[in-house]
């Protein structure tokens, strides 16, 4: 049976590669982001492959009414929801721009929660569906010098794990994808070009998307792409929190700090 996947943040990076994977398996897609031109290019590429329909909905998920507006524009039922759109803001909390951080909370947390709230009941009624929320390895510990972003991803992970539990036996599976540093538009958008975090062991977006896609299909609750990221995430989970917070601060600092 033909399925439809709604992917937010499909105009670049991990979301774009996830959209390609869904389309390759014959799934219709609804592509969401602000950059309409990029979404249309991707839709044309996916439809050229044959057998899939790609819908484009260009909107700003930082707007408080965005999730509701998006759901009203959907072409039909959504079988798979991928809450991938998100961005980071870097810098000491006392210096970062509040307006930008509130926008980030709106995209990373509020829109994700609202879309899940609006689409999950239909999935449960149909007794099938999947939700893939893109969190981060940042979700596992506090992140000095990027405090609100790390906290937003801790929310995404916690919500996803709780919903995975609540939906057991309903035919719906909820997964959280927790990538480590990945080469995408994220670094520039977060103002992290100088950060040591992206100096080494950076994954490419396609490898992250492939692991996320496979993990979601196999019904895993938490998917951490890359052996090194899995190792670090489990180490961080069991090490003293104060120590880990200091380590993360060191990694978040800019080169030369
Ligand atoms: N890259 C990393 O190192 C990394 C690590 C862990 C987790 N993640 C997470 O992975 C997810 C995808 O990010 P990425 O790394 O692929 O970065 P990216 O290349 O910058 O992609 C971010 C996507 O989100 C969309 N987006 C951002 N703000 C939006 C808004 N206000 N309204 C609608 N769409 C918006 C962007 O589209 P438009 O600009 O066209 O709107 C873009 O398609 C994010 O949730 C990020 O937090 C990334």
Q: Is the pLDDT of residue 68 over 70?
A: yes
Mean pLDDT of the region 48-73? 97
116 Cα to the center of ligand 1, angstroms: 18
pLDDT at residue 23 greater than cutoff 90: yes
Determine the average pLDDT of the residues in 242-255.
Answer: 87
pLDDT at res. 9: 98
Mean pLDDT for all residues in the chain? 95
Q: What is the pLDDT of residue 257?
A: 60
Does 155 qualify as catalytic in the annotation? no
Of residues 97 and 233, the one with the higher pLDDT is 97
Question: Phi and psi for 9 in degrees, rounded to 5?
Answer: 70, 40
112 CB under 6 A from ligand 1?
no
Q: How far is the CA of 90 from the centre of ligand 1 (A)?
A: 14
Question: Given this model, what pLDDT does residue 48 score?
Answer: 96
86 Cα: distance to centroid of ligand 1 (angstroms): 4
186, 197, 225, 248, best to mutate for ligand 1 pocket (most atoms within 8 Å of CB): 186
pLDDT band of residue 236 (cuts 50, 70, 90) is confident
Q: Which CATH architecture has domain 4-252?
A: 3-Layer(aba) Sandwich (3.40)
Pocket test for ligand 1, best of 86, 112, 192, 232 (most atoms within 8 A of CB): 86
User: What is the pLDDT averaged over residues 21-33?
Assistant: 98
CB 9 less than 6 A from any atom of ligand 1? yes
Instruction: Give dist(CA 20, CA 49) in Å, integer.
Output: 10
User: What are the pLDDT digits (tens) for 160-180?
Assistant: 999 999 999 999 999 999 999
pLDDT at 200: 75
Spatial CA neighbour of 79 closest among 40, 125, 46: 125
- Taking the C-alpha atoms of residue 66 and residue 69, their distance in angstroms, rounded to an integer, is 5
Q: What's the pLDDT at 72? A: 98
Per-residue model confidence (pLDDT) at position 235? 87
For residue 145, give both structure tokens: 């010098």
Q: Given CA atoms 25, 30, 35, 37 in this order, what sign does their dihedral have? A: positive
Region of 201 please: left (phi>0), alpha (psi -120 to 50) or beta. left
Q: CB of 197 closer than 6 A to ligand 1? A: no
Buried b (16+ CB within 10 A) or exposed e, 17-45: bbbbbbbeeebbbbbbbeeeebbeebbee
Number of Cα atoms under 13 Å in the Cβ half of residue 89:
20
Alpha-carbon torsion (33, 37, 42, 46), positive or negative: positive
* 12 Cβ inside 6 Å of ligand 1: yes
Summarize the confidence of residues 115-133 as an average pLDDT: 98
Summarize the confidence of residues 66-79 as an average pLDDT: 98
- Between 6-10, 39-43, 166-170, 249-253, the lowest mean confidence (pLDDT) is in 249-253
Say yes or no: CB of residue 35 within 6 Å of ligand 1: yes
**Is the predicted pLDDT of residue 60 greater than 80, yes or no?**
yes
CA distance 198 to 238: 24
Pocket flag, ligand 1, residue 116 (CB < 6 Å) = no
Residue 71 tokens read as 């759901």
Indicate yes or no: pTM above 0.85: yes
Question: To 10 degrees, what angle do helices 13-24 and 36-48 make?
Answer: 20
User: What's the pLDDT band for 256 if we cut at 50, 70, 90?
Assistant: low
């Amino acid at each position: 049976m033909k399925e439809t996947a709604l992917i937010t943040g499909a105009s670049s990076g991990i979301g774009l590669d996830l959209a390609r994977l869904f389309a390759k398996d014959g799934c219709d897609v609804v592509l969401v982001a602000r950059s309409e031109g990029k979404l249309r290019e991707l839709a044309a590429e996916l439809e050229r492959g044959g057998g899939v329909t790609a819908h484009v909905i260009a909107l700003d998920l930082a707007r408080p009414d965005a999730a509701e507006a998006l759901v009203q524009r959907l072409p039909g039922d959504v079988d798979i929801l991928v809450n991938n759109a998100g961005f980071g803001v870097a810098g000491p909390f006392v210096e970062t721009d509040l307006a930008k951080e509130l926008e980030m909370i709106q995209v990373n947390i509020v829109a994700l929660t609202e879309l899940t709230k609006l689409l999950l009941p239909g999935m449960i009624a149909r007794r099938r569906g999947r939700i893939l929320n893109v969190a981060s390895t940042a979700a596992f510990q506090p992140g000095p010098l990027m405090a609100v972003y790390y906290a937003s991803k801790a929310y995404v992970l916690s919500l996803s794990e709780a919903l995975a539990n609540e939906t057991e036996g309903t035919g719906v599976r909820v997964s959280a994808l927790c990538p480590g540093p990945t080469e995408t538009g994220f670094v520039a958008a977060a103002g992290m070009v100088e950060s040591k975090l992206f100096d080494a062991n950076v994954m490419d977006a396609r490898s992250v998307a492939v692991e996320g896609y496979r993990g979601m299909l196999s019904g895993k609750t938490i998917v951490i792409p890359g052996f090194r990221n899995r190792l670090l995430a489990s180490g961080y989970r069991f090490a003293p929190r104060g120590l880990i917070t200091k380590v993360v601060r060191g990694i978040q600092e800019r080169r030369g700090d």
